[in-house]
A and B are shown apart, each in its own frame.
Chain A
Amino acid sequence: MDAIKIIEKLAKTAQKEKLPQIDVSKTAMCEIGLLRQETTGFLPFEWFAGISAVAASIVTFFSIHAWRYIVDPLIQLLVPFQEILLW
């Protein structure tokens, strides 16, 4: 008999196998509860990160506006002498 045929026959028989009775409802819910607790523990950090991001955005916004008015102090020093004739 072909080995594959035997294997297929074994598989058909194996499908009738009695399975162990397993109840994971309590343990799974317990693990889910623990995972949820861990997630809530991270919430203050998320808030802190969010507030920091908002503050950084405000500072960046004003910085861009301020950048336009920033001038080089060296140029400022030479501005009064621009009209002077050298010879």
Chain B
Amino acid sequence: MENSDWDDIAACLNGDEAAYERLILQYQEQITQLCWRFSRDSAVCERLVQDTFVEAYLSLKTYKAKAPFLHWLKKIATRVGYRFWKEQDKEKRFLPLENIDIAAKETQQEIEPQKAAEILHALLGRLSSADRLVLTLMYFEDCTIKEIAGRTGWTRAAVKMRAMRARKKMKKIAEKEKIWEKLEWMQ
């Protein structure tokens, strides 16, 4: 962990709020990146980032400095995002793929990152919260099984099993949506 982080955390535990503001400014970009995977609505994403930093502040005393501060923050952000998805699950709403204008073969050779993220987000949205979380961390964050287990608190075996099942479900969904026909030119 960076020394400045530790100094700021110690100062914060002694009641220095400016120190925590410095930590927010330092890490909010990385946390935004993670929260953006949970919601592509700017207002919701902002709320998730804010909730992450508030929760982190309230449990700052429990931070043992065994891992970098950012890892700890990401763990909290994952929990906040997962909770958001579970709430969303009750409504069972997802974006139809037809609404996303997938670039045609003739016009573009490479899909735009934003469009790719939109398609993937919509596809993942059809899975259950737990399956979606595993694949989101795997695909968007490039997390290993060990890292996902660390972030979610699930066992490695459970994550491995869930990832395998989620990929199968995802494949079925992609085939049902005929995603390969729409994106055949990506080959």
What are the residues of chain A within 8 A of B184 when measuring CB–CB? 1
State the main secondary structure of chain A at its contact with B: helix
- Cβ–Cβ contact A7 & B123, under 8 A: yes
- Please judge, given known A-B contacts A22-B45, A25-B28, A28-B24, whether A6 and B17 are in contact too, CB under 8 Å: no
Q: Is B67 an interface residue (CB 8 A)?
A: no
State the main secondary structure of chain B at its contact with A: helix
What are the residues of chain A within 8 A of B32 when measuring CB–CB? 19-20, 22
Q: Return the CB mask of B24-61 against A: 1 if under 8 Å, else 0.
A: 11001100110010000010011001100110011000
Binds A, one of B1-9, B78-86, B170-178: B170-178
Name the distance in Å between A41's Cβ and chain B's nearest Cβ: 16
Q: Return the CB mask of A58-84 against B: 1 if under 8 Å, else 0.
A: 000000000000000000000000000
Q: Return the CB mask of A28-46 against B: 1 if under 8 Å, else 0.
A: 1101110100000000000
Q: Is B183 an interface residue (CB 8 A)?
A: yes
Task: Sort chain A's interface into a size bin.
Answer: 20 to 34
A58 to B179, CA, bound (A): 75
What are the residues of chain B within 8 A of A29 when measuring CB–CB? 17, 20-21, 24
Task: Sort chain B's interface into a size bin.
Answer: 35 or more
A9: contacting residue among B36, B53, B117, B186, CB under 8 A: B186
Name the distance in Å between A8's Cβ and chain B's nearest Cβ: 7
- Cβ–Cβ contact B186 & A1, under 8 A: yes
Q: Is A54 an interface residue (CB 8 A)?
A: no
Given A6-B179, A24-B49, A28-B57; 10 other pairs, CB 8 A cutoff: A1-B186, A7-B174, A9-B186, A17-B113, A17-B114, A19-B32, A24-B53, A32-B17, A32-B20, A35-B58
Q: Give the B-binding residues of A (Cβ under 8 A).
A: 1-4, 6-11, 13-20, 22-25, 27-29, 31-33, 35
